[in-house]
Structures are given as C-alpha cells and as structure tokens.
Structure 1
Amino acid sequence: MADCIICGTSSDGPICDTHQEDVVFEFEGNQPNQLTEGRFYRGSVDGYAEFGVFIDLNEHVTGLLHRSKLDRRLESLDWDVGDTVYVQVTNVRDNGDIDLGWSIRQSDREFRGTLIDAPDGDRLAETETESESGSGPEPGSGPEASAEPETEADSEPEPEPETGTEADTGMERAEADTGPAAETDSEREPVPDSGSDTETETEPGSGSETESATESESTSTPTDEEPPERVNVEGLRERVGETVRLEGEIVSVRQTSGPTVFELRDETAVADCAAFEEAGVRAYPEVEVGDVVRLDGEIRVRRDEIQVETETLAVLEGDELAAVTDRMDEALRSASDPGEVEPVADDPAIEALAEGVQAAATAIRRAIKESRPIVVRHSADTDGYVAGAAIERAVLPLVREEHAGTDAVYHYFDRRPLEGTVYDLDDATKDVTRMLDDQERHDEKLPLFVFAGAGGTRDSLDGLELLGIYGSERLVIDGLPVEKEVTETVETSLGPEDGEARTATTLAATVAAGVNDAVREDLRPLPAISYWDDVPEAYAEAAEDAGLDADAVRDLREAVALEAYYQSYEDKRELIIDLLFDRVTGLAEQVAEQFRTKLEAELETATANLDRREVGGVEFAVLDTDAYTHRFDFPPTRLLLDELHRREIAAEGDGPTVTIGLAMDELHLRSTTDVGVREVAEAVRERVPEGGVDTKGTREGTVEFLSGEREAVLEATMDVVAERLSATSEA
C-alpha cells in the first residue's frame, strides 16, 4: 500500500480515488482501454475537424474533443497543431473511440501534481525523471565511478567500427573514462559512436592517418554517395526502415510543436513527411504548398501510419520540374477518368446524360487525387440527404486510400446541408470564410463544391459567383433541369433534359458509381428512397434486389426525412450511414413511426382548417401556416404542404388542384400543373407593386412579400394562377 500524495491516506497507488481529478496524468499505454475514465490527461493537438478537435494522448492513442464539449465556439480556439492541452477522458467506447471533455485547467500549475498512467500502474513523474538521469555514484565508489551506470544498450556488443575510425574512437573513450576526477558527465563533450559523421577534434600532430580518415568521413556529402532509390508513395509500407527518394507536389504544410509535417503527393498517393529543424521551428521555410520537390528520407511507422523522416528536401526547377510535372499530370488524367459509367438501374433518361455523368465523376475523382477537400452542399430533406450520402459513400474509401492519416476522411470531405435548395450569399459567405481560414491556418487547397439537389436555379447565382471569385470549382447535380444561367457560371453541371424530371439522388447515385464503382451495390437502392410517390419501376426493382421491399423503402424515406429536420445544419454522418448502409436493426422502423405520428397530428389540424376558395373555375385550398401549424416543430412547412397537396389531389380527382400555404411574409404554392412560380411572382409583382414580391426558391414554389400586403398578394396569386391554368387548358 502507498499513501496519497495529496491527503496522505492509504491507497493502491500514489493517488487515492477521491483525488483522481486533482492531478494530471501522462499516458504511457498503447491501447485506448488502458485509459481511466474521469482522469485528466496531458495531450497535444493533432488536428481540427468541423465537429471538434483530435487530441493525441501519446503517439499511440488519439481521442476526440467534440465541439459540444467546449465552453466556447470551436472557431474561437487558438490552439495550433502540436500545442499541449489538457483534457478529461469521459468515455472509451467498445470500438476504441475515445470521448474527451473540456478542462478549464490548461497548465501544469493548475493541477496538484503530475503522475504517469502506465499499463503496470501509476507512479510519480519524478520517479521516471530520476531513473532517466541516473542515480549517482554508489556509496564507497571512487571519483572514477561518477559516470552514468551501464545501460542495456551499453552492455550490448558495439558495432564493428569503420576502417580509419577505430583508433580515434578508442582514444577518446579512454580519455573520457580516465579523465580528471573533477570532470562530470554534464561537463564532458558527447563522444560520437564509431558510425557517427560528427567531426572529431584531435590534438595537433597526433596520428595523421587517423585524423585524415575521420575528416574524410565527416566532410563527405550526399553527392558522393549513390542517391536513394526513387519509389512511389503507394509502395512505402513495403519499404519501412529504408531510405528512399520521393518526387511530387507539396499539398499541405503543418507546423507542430516538434517537426514540420509536409504532405507530399505523387502520381500514386499522399504521404506525411516530417522534417525537424528544432522544436516548433519551421523546417525548409522556402518550401511552400504547390511546390514540386525531391525528398530523401527514411520510412517509419508512427501510430500504425507511414511517415517519412526527411533528410533532404529540394524544390525542383527547369527540366527536372517539367519531367515530374508531366509524369504527375498524365497519371492524374488517367486516374481521374472513370471511363464509361453505367447507370445504377435501367433508365433511358440517365443513359442520355452519359457525357455529363462522366464529367461530374471526373471532377470529383480529380479533386481526390489533387488532395483538394470536397464539400457537398445539399437540401435538408430526404432527396438532398440521400444524394449527398451517395457521393459520400463513394468518396470516403478513396480518401482513405489516398491519405495515410486516419482522420483524412474528416479533413478532405464534408457534407453541409442547406436550409432549402437555394445557395444564397449567406451560405456562400460562411463557406468562403471557412475555406480561407483553412487555407491560412492549415495550408489547405480550395475545395471542390458539389451541389446535390441545390443550386440549380438562378436564385443561387450570387452565392455561386462569390465562390468563383475565390477560385473554387463548382459542380451542380440536380434532379430538375439546371437553368442556363447556372450552367454558364459553374465549371460542371448535370441535370435531366426538359420533361425528364428525376430526383437529385437518381443522378447523384450514378455519378457516385462513376467515382467509385466498388460501392455500386450500396448505391443501387438509394434512388427508390428519394421518391415520395410513383417510384420508377427500375429503381423499385433495384431496391428489392438489395433486400428492400416497398415498406422498407418507405421506412427509410420517412426516417431520413425526420432526422434531416433536426439539427438540419449538421451532416449526421454516422446516423445516415446506420440508416442507409449498415441498416441497424429496428432503427428505420422506429424513426419512421415517429415520423408518421408527428405528420398525422399536423395534417389533422391542417386539413380541418383549410380555407377553400374558388377563383376562375379553379379550386384553391389555402392553409394559414402561421395560425394552424407548429412552425418550429416537425414537420417543416415544405414537407407538410407536399403531403397535404398529395391528399388534396387524391380527393379532388382529375381537375387542377392548387394548394397554398400562407405565412406572414411568404407563400408556398403547389399545383398539379406547372404554372411557373417565377412567372407567377413577376405577374403578382405588377399587380401589387407595393408588396415587395420576389421569389425565394422556385423549386420549392416559394414567393416572398411584405407582410402588410399579405391578403393582396394572396388574391393576386390566385387570380394569376387561375388565368395561367385556364390558358393551359385551352391550349
């Protein structure tokens, strides 16, 4: 038994259970399950993700400090990679993931001591320090015994000295062992091993042959030796322990409290290369992101990840630069080309878009190979989430193959739901601010922005143009035809031809199959989930082949819709994976049941309070959404009106059916016949010029206006819609 270092009570170790949280621990284990929950640990910042900070507790174990556990906004943290921080281990999961908590104490002096948490038990940090520095001379020993005691390494046979160095080395060791008694270990100059290239001082006139040999060895340069063999990054794991040469582009630079870490990409993959000048000092400051370099170094394994310990690093110029660049460009073109992409189901409308599908898949594959982050922006509904998840499913395995870091899937891929289908200036400003911050802090390249089920109309031009000003590439994938103004603005766009409407998921799933054909079977059932009614037969069959009957598809559709609503700005990556791909038993059924319960309750109230009007021979069903819905609870207005309109169609029969949701300053229009929401808004603006009428989202059928002109705008809208439906009927 021992005594607690704080209260003195008997304990199994240096600290009692009562005072476990009063001290900070240094972790010496190599497995997450060796940690003790509730303890505070000293760690270092490994990197940032949108959802939190990765903290290294040592070189073997890393945990996540989630943004929800911080006492401030993640963006306001001034931690840099490599900074020492203090965190609490709150949970160690069965799969090895470590949940960390925030510590208000962020320095050693705020704790009441430091202990070592080792697999064989806790011990005082001072004990380790003493053992490392030596225990001093034994009682009764003479001055000659003041040197450090022999270690295990010292007791091993010494390596065979090279020719010409044995005399020097032996002489110097003899001098060190038999020097004056007043000379201590700390006063002696370090003695190089026989294989060292450190220059050795000798007395003038001493053995000239030995001196010449030593000087010759110490002044030799790499140019006198055979250069290391050039290898590709993808083959590094088979060459651990060897010194090799890499040639490629620097895609990022991270300065830690120790070395500088360069990410080098060649024609095959990306590798971390650590270069050390001195602690926290930038090595090779002349090397920048985008430079093409030649790097020699030794391959090592750190935390089961390959890392190259850099020995020399040089920026290439002239013919050498051209040769490497040409080689990488050719490999990049070849690796980015998906070839001919087969649709995930037999659909002539998608087959007709083969060229556009190939261009979209190429853009995504190229971004992965160029180590550019990919940001998917999608609507926060079932179609948007499933479309985004399809692209995510294809990209993540390729990112893992490309980058050695286990957290690369969070650094190089992000899904960010939008409130609707419009990408406005507010959204674009947030994205630009974030990407410029990442570029400044982490030397990240500008992302490829992929818009799935969003950004396809001119309503998004302001946001898309802002991204373009900063040089970000933009790819739009939409289930409805992409408007000409957008096609002319972005680098790549993909949408069906007029009259061939599909869901965004239908196109996104085929694009994702082109990005990574290995996940095709995972993608095939996704389009069926994105249709609320009239699922095309080919996609229904594809879902059934994957083991999803109509009821299972409906459950998934409704479950995603419910989860998409809550915290709509979050990607919910793991939850969506559990629903769509891992299909956790009972999850979809349980969430879908909640969906139906909440939706039916709102529909019952809405149906009872419909204001039915007849204008120009057209029946309108008007719902005051401010008065008869819970606007800040599920379901959202858009989904409620969609379902209400479907039920109105079923009740009314074959005639034109129009449903209007009327809020304080916006109107939602649903019609069995396309009346052209933008054209309706323009006509209403002419009739109510003081109403401030404008379109907010033509795909969602939303018209904005000033609340003071609410009734005037409603009446004008019904008049315009009735006239357009009448004209359509006569035609």
Structure 2
Amino acid sequence: MGTCIICGKPTDGRICKTHEEDASFTFHGDRPDDLTAGRYYRGVVDGFAEFGVFVDIGPVTGLLHRSEIPQRLESLDWDPGDEVFVQVLQVHDNGNIDLGWSIRQKEREFRGNLHDPPEAAPETDADDDEETEGRSSSISEPKPVETESESDFTTAAETATEPETAPETETEPESGSAESTVSDGTVADGATDTETVTEPVGETDDVVEDSTEPDETTESAAVETDTTERETPPPERVEIGQLADEIGETVTVEGTVAGIRQTGGPTIFDVTDETGTIDCAAFEEAGVRAYPDVDVDDVIRLVGEVERRRGELQIETSDLEVLTGDDGQAVLARLEAAMEERATPADTSLLVDDPEVSVVLEDLVAAATTIRRAVIEARPVIVRHTATLDGYVAGTALERALLPLIREEHAQSDAEYHYVDRRPLDDEFYDVEAATGDVTDMLEAADRHDEKHPLFVLVDAGSTRESTDGLELLDIYDAKSVVVDGGYADAAAATTADVLVSPTAAGGDPVTTGTLGSHLAALVNQDVRADLRHLPAASYWDERPARYEDLAAAAGYDMDALDDIRDAVTLEAFYQSYEDKRELIADLFWDERNASLAAPISEQFSEKLESQLETAIAHLEARNESGVVFDVLNVDEYTHRYDFPPAALLVDALHRRREATDGPRVTVAVKRDELRVRSTRPVNVRTVAETIAQALPQAGVTPRGGRDGRIEFLSGEREAVVDAVVDEIASRLS
C-alpha cells in the first residue's frame, strides 16, 4: 500500500482513483486490450476521415469520432503528426478503440504523466529530457510501489533545467558538493536548482542540479558575494500586457493571484495585473507546492524569466513575495483604478435608439462593467440561460462578446474554454437545484485548482421570486450575479441580484430578452457590434420593430433569412437542451453558410410545429364565459409527449393562429399538473393563481414566474383548477 502522489491518500499505486483523471498516460503496451478505459493517453494524430480523427497511441490506433469533438471537425487545429491527448472510452473485442475528447491538450495541464505499464517504460535519456522540457513530471503506472522502479520517475528539476545541448567537456563535481545524479537517472538527495554540474566521465551525461548546502571551501566566498548580490537592483517592473517583448529577460511583475494549479511538477500561479494575466511556474520539487503561504487574491511581487512554452508566454519564477501594508495597498490602488477604467465600456451607446431599452441604459452599463471586470480579474463567467429562442439569442450574444476579450486577456490558448461557460437551464428559473449544481462545481474548482469564484450571468431567468433561493445560495459563497431579463420582474429579484437589468423593474414595458442581451453584448465588447446587429430582429416571432428590421438589413440580412435562423435556433434549443452547442449555434447565427444550414433546419421546425398544431386545433375545447372566448387544450392527451414543440411554444403558436374575435380571446394549455395562459388582453397570471389558491386550498395551486408565467397544481385537482382559472379570468376581462 502506497500513497497518492497528488493528495497523499492511501492507494495501491502511485495515484488514487479519484485523481487518476488528473494524470495523462504514456502507453508502452503492445495490444489494444492493454489500454485502460477511462484514462487519458498521449497520442499522435495519424490521419483524418469524414467521420473523425485517427490517433496513434503507441503501436495501436483508435478513432476519435466527430461526435466526440466539441467543434466542427473542419475547424480542428490538428495536423498529422501532432501530439494530442485523448481519452480511451472503450476497447472492443475486435480491437477497435473508441476515443473521447480531452479538454486538456497540453501535458502541463495534467498533474503528471504515468507510464502504462510502468515495467515497460523506457529509460529516460538526454533526448527525452530535452523533448519534454517544461512539462510536468512523469510518474509511473499506479501499481503497488513494491513493483515499480525508481527510473520510472522523472522530476521536474531534471527536465526544467536540462540544457538544449550537452556540454562538450565533462568536469568533476566541486569538492564538498552532493553527487549530482545516481545511476538510475533520478536526482540525488540534496540536489537543488541553484547550480548545474556534470557527472564525472564514464558515469552519465545527464546535467543535473548541485546541492544547496555549501561546503566549507565555498561558504566564505558566498558570504563575500552576498553583499554585492543584495546591492543589485531588482529587475524592472513590466506590465503583463508587454511581456511578449521581454522573452528571455528577467522581469518583475506585480499583481494579484488569480488562481493556483499544482501539477506533478511545478506550481502554476495565475497572476493578474492591470493589463492581463499570465502563468508563472514555480518549482520546489516534483508535485510539491511552491510558496505554500501564497493564496488566491494575495497581492504579490514576482521575479522571473519570460519564456515561451509551446507557443504560450510563461514566467519561470525565481522569487515571489506577498506584499502587505503600504506596499500591498499601493499595488491594489493602482490595480483598482486601472481595472475600473478598463472595465467601464468606452462606448455606452445602444446598437440603435430604442426608448424601451433606454430606460435601463445605466443598468446595462453597470452589467457590462461587472462582466468586463470579471474577465480582467481572471474570474470565470458562467452564462445561465433558458433553453428558448430568447435565451439562446441573448446568451450567445454575450458569448460572442466575451470570447475575444478572454483571448486578449489570457496568454494560454485554451483560456476561452476555462473562463466562459454558457449553460442552458432545465427550467425557466434559476432555482435552488440549478444553483446547487453551480455551487458544487464552483467549490470543487476552488478546492482542486484554487480557481476564483465565477461571475454568474442569468439570462431570461432570475427576475422572479422562484430564483431568489438560488441567488441567495450564490450570495452565501460571495459569488456575484447579474440578471438580464426582458420579461416581467418582481420586487424580490431586485434586492437579490447584484445587478438587475429589467425594463419592467425600471417602470418600462417588457422587451425580448434577445434584444436586451444583444445591447448588453455590444457594451461588453464594442469590437463585435457589427456581428450583433441582426440578433434583436431574430428574437421576435411577430411585429418586429422597424428599427431592428432596418438594423438587420444594414447587416445584410433579409427578414426571410432571419425567420429561418430564428426557427432553426428554436428547434436546436429543444434538443439536448442542457448542452450549449457552441459551434452549431454560432454557425446558425454567423457562419457564411448559415443560409444553407438554417433553411433545412427551419423546414424541419415548420413540419414538426404544423403537425402538432393540426392535431391540437382539432381537439381544442371551446368555452365562452361572460363574452370571453376560451380555447382549452389538454396537452397530455392531444400532443406527442417529449416531442417538439414544448408546451410554452405550442400555446404561443396556437394563440397566434386562432382567428380574431370581437371580444377578448384566451388560450389555455393544460398539462398534467400545470397550465399556461395567453390572452389578447393583459392578464396577470400570478395574481390569478394567488386568488385561486385561496379558493381551492386543497388543490396545491402555486404561481410560477411573473405575470406571464404559469400555474402549477395537484394533478388530481386539474378539472377544478381549470374551471376556476376560466371563471377568474372571465371575471377580470368581461
């Protein structure tokens, strides 16, 4: 029984099952069935096919099917021969290997590399060290410790300081220094990163590190030079945004710690100043936390050499100091002033003048400033939106604005996958179930990776009391929230969200959330304004405002094309509603082929909707109460369950389709334990539900949402509730 090299828990190998997903594996087996399903392996791209990518894992080849790739196969930035990381999903009896996607595509993003199997691992040589320079340390297959050889373990100290070419001559180690290497290639006790010496001739060519313990012959010399070293001024402070011009130079940076990641080799500190964020690698020893007293949000001064690792800027840290007192306050004041200036949108104008949106312009600017500041602070932005047309238009607009900002702000190439996450909601509210999932993920990220708590942006949800419990749970953990909802808000949400953008809460009329989100996205990133001009018009089902039709036309979109995009997005939002479908939705909105893509999907939308409408209209129950015409549909009995369209979309389409009447017309769609209402005259569904709840206390009547929300009840009381709703609405409208 050994201990896990990551968490220290007892385990039968070098790494426990919990953290096995944090390690990558180098395969040294001979057959497909030597692979272990669930593990992440280093591989090499072998070739491409229409259905996916072939990846060589050692001597065997697997298929990464295009359905496992979170983007279009054509846009995958891989070439044959590229080193990649993939997950082995399944090894079939016939030897076929199914591979899955790995979001980590650089070895330093794993917490170590393990040999699989360890007994077949090749000996580390100088070429291997040079090839793996800057990577996290390698550790052998997690088998019992007694069966492993020390040669399977390569420390980061060996790889990080290995010179590009071996010295032409070999020298004897200085008197009194520890032996630099041992015969199996591991670093001997006492080796540090202060000096490098070469092994005596005939023993090894590996260049390793000398001991930190000075012998008696060198101690006096160290004392003599100490004064000179102290008098050497520290390197000049350089802003992170200017480090691309300082490669190979030793610099000083000052900022705050945005995150800390412990790899199998160095500790990675994400450091943020007023101009950007960069990874800073600090090494103590393999898998051991460097500078353990440094925490997230600490103000620090860091000295190190600027390097480019696999195309990404990084600082190799030589000294790190936490700043407190006046020094820390001075840095914080400088960062605060610069961040506030950078976070505030330079252009605070709307996409187009709209009096209904202008009532919340100050709130939009406040929301944009909060979102922009989260990006600057290296704080993830989580966009939660309803799986509806409105939710997707607004949520995708924000994503479109955020991605370029994140790419500019963060040096690592995959930052956009870490610092923005768009997650559709299961329901129309941000309830405690959704918040519990988010908080669980947030706390795990903070515990495992020292990640900052995200900013949560709730789109088309969060403005009614059904979301207060979820918002309060976020607040308990000091996670900030921005709510953007064009529908009817209530007073409860205004005091719960940190920033609320709601025209109705500001005394105005409702607008589509797609419109509101598009204006917000333009404030978040003015460079994408041209990309957003057609989105507001795409969020309307009928009676598009002329200002948005003109704005879309100026962007090159006619109304028929927008109808196709609207219908296609609505259909795709229904399927796999819990997935963001980033690339597909972006193609529908912006790809040059969106016309050929949206049109056939729009046809499917029309066919499915017409089929359901035809059935529903034939089974409407007509009622006339006090001059008010009601169309009542039993959704459970006269529609196909789990098929498109959902009940909310169906009742909207039914209501638009019915012929006009002289008096008010109301459409009621009734499911097993809930109903929705649409009316030609304003009806406050929430107050209707509250009245019926008092009249039918045994029916469990509960209003959900704002004045245009839904009514829930006990299914056994359905007939009584429907009759009561019809009577109550008739009395209000007659």
Does TM-score exceed 0.5, indicating one fold?
yes
Query: What's the secondary structure of 2:583's corresponding residue?
Result: helix
Matching of residue 395 in structure 1 with residue 408 in structure 2: no
Between 1:472-481 and 1:216-225, the stretch displaced more is 216-225
Matching of residue 656 in structure 1 with residue 673 in structure 2: no
**Could you tell me whether the CA contact under 8 Å between 1:36 and 1:89 is conserved in 2?**
no
CA–CA separation in structure 1 for the residues paired with 2:240 and 2:302: 12
Name 2:56's counterpart in structure 1. Answer: 39
User: What amino acid is the match of 1:447?
Assistant: P
Pick closer, same or farther for the CA change 1:412–1:682 going to 2, 3 Å.
same
Pick closer, same or farther for the CA change 1:546–1:154 going to 2, 3 Å.
same
**Could you tell me whether the CA contact under 8 Å between 1:353 and 1:496 is conserved in 2?**
yes
Pick closer, same or farther for the CA change 1:170–1:186 going to 2, 3 Å.
closer
**Could you tell me whether the CA contact under 8 Å between 1:41 and 1:88 is conserved in 2?**
no
Select the residue among 634, 641, 644 that pairs with 1:634.
644
Name 1:669's counterpart in structure 2. Answer: 677
User: What amino acid is the match of 1:572?
Assistant: K
Alignment of 1:53-452 (within 5 A): 63=84, 65=86, 90=99, 108=115, 110=117, 113=120, 125=122, 153-155=166-168, 214-215=221-222, 219=226, 222-452=229-459
Q: CA deviation at 1:496?
A: 1.4
Select the residue among 490, 505, 509 that pairs with 1:500.
509
Select the residue among 537, 559, 579 that pairs with 2:588.
579
The alignment-based identity, stated in percent, is 45
Name 2:614's counterpart in structure 1. Answer: 604
CA–CA separation in structure 2 for the residues paired with 1:97 and 1:440: 19
Q: CA deviation at 1:581?
A: 1.7
Pick closer, same or farther for the CA change 1:612–1:301 going to 2, 3 Å.
same
CA–CA separation in structure 2 for the residues paired with 1:320 and 1:441: 30
Pick closer, same or farther for the CA change 1:191–1:646 going to 2, 3 Å.
closer
Q: CA deviation at 1:420?
A: 3.3
User: What amino acid is the match of 1:294?
Assistant: R
CA–CA separation in structure 2 for the residues paired with 1:258 and 1:635: 52
The superposition leaves residues 432-472 of structure 1 with CA deviations (integer Å, 9 ceiling, x where unpaired) of 11111111111111111111111111222222122112211
Between 1:488-497 and 1:383-392, the stretch displaced more is 488-497
**Could you tell me whether the CA contact under 8 Å between 2:533 and 2:551 is conserved in 1?**
yes
Pick closer, same or farther for the CA change 1:243–1:570 going to 2, 3 Å.
same
Q: CA deviation at 1:488?
A: 1.6
**Could you tell me whether the CA contact under 8 Å between 1:21 and 1:40 is conserved in 2?**
no
Name 2:184's counterpart in structure 1. Answer: none
Select the residue among 593, 604, 613 that pairs with 1:594.
604
Alignment of 1:473-492 (within 5 A): 473-492=480-499
CA–CA separation in structure 2 for the residues paired with 1:316 and 1:619: 72
Matching of residue 516 in structure 1 with residue 529 in structure 2: no
Pick closer, same or farther for the CA change 1:202–1:107 going to 2, 3 Å.
closer
Q: Which runs of 5+ in 2 are unaligned?
A: 1-26, 60-67, 72-77, 91-95, 108-112, 131-163, 181-198
The superposition leaves residues 219-273 of structure 1 with CA deviations (integer Å, 9 ceiling, x where unpaired) of 5674232211110101111110011001110111000000000001011100100
CA–CA separation in structure 1 for the residues paired with 2:106 and 2:214: 52
Pick closer, same or farther for the CA change 1:271–1:19 going to 2, 3 Å.
same
User: What amino acid is the match of 2:569?
Assistant: V
Q: CA deviation at 1:213?
A: 8.7
CA–CA separation in structure 2 for the residues paired with 1:658 and 1:99: 58
Select the residue among 612, 618, 621 that pairs with 2:628.
618
Between 1:654-663 and 1:626-635, the stretch displaced more is 654-663
CA–CA separation in structure 2 for the residues paired with 1:507 and 1:486: 17
CA–CA separation in structure 2 for the residues paired with 1:501 and 1:216: 75
The superposition leaves residues 343-393 of structure 1 with CA deviations (integer Å, 9 ceiling, x where unpaired) of 112212223322112111111111111111111111111111010011111
User: What amino acid is the match of 2:533?
Assistant: R
The superposition leaves residues 553-573 of structure 1 with CA deviations (integer Å, 9 ceiling, x where unpaired) of 000100010010011111111
User: What amino acid is the match of 1:541?
Assistant: D
Name 1:526's counterpart in structure 2. Answer: 535
Name 1:163's counterpart in structure 2. Answer: none
Residues matched between the structures, number? 620
CA–CA separation in structure 2 for the residues paired with 1:463 and 1:92: 32
Q: CA deviation at 1:473?
A: 1.0
Pick closer, same or farther for the CA change 1:221–1:504 going to 2, 3 Å.
farther
Q: Which runs of 5+ in 1 are unaligned?
A: 1-14, 43-50, 72-86, 101-105, 115-124, 134-150, 159-165, 177-182, 204-210, 727-731
Select the residue among 564, 567, 570 that pairs with 2:576.
567
Structure of higher CA gyration radius: 1
Pick closer, same or farther for the CA change 1:710–1:213 going to 2, 3 Å.
closer
Query: What's the secondary structure of 1:154's corresponding residue?
Result: coil
Select the residue among 686, 701, 706 that pairs with 1:698.
706
Query: What's the secondary structure of 2:668's corresponding residue?
Result: strand
User: What amino acid is the match of 1:403?
Assistant: H
Query: What's the secondary structure of 2:401's corresponding residue?
Result: helix
**Could you tell me whether the CA contact under 8 Å between 2:683 and 2:707 is conserved in 1?**
no
The superposition leaves residues 497-552 of structure 1 with CA deviations (integer Å, 9 ceiling, x where unpaired) of 44522111111111111111000001111000101111111111111111111110
Query: What's the secondary structure of 1:376's corresponding residue?
Result: strand
The superposition leaves residues 474-504 of structure 1 with CA deviations (integer Å, 9 ceiling, x where unpaired) of 1111113432221122211111144522111
**Could you tell me whether the CA contact under 8 Å between 1:367 and 1:448 is conserved in 2?**
yes
Q: TM-score, normalised by structure 2?
A: 0.76
Pick closer, same or farther for the CA change 1:444–1:699 going to 2, 3 Å.
farther
**Could you tell me whether the CA contact under 8 Å between 1:373 and 1:411 is conserved in 2?**
yes
Query: What's the secondary structure of 2:54's corresponding residue?
Result: coil
User: What amino acid is the match of 2:710?
Assistant: T
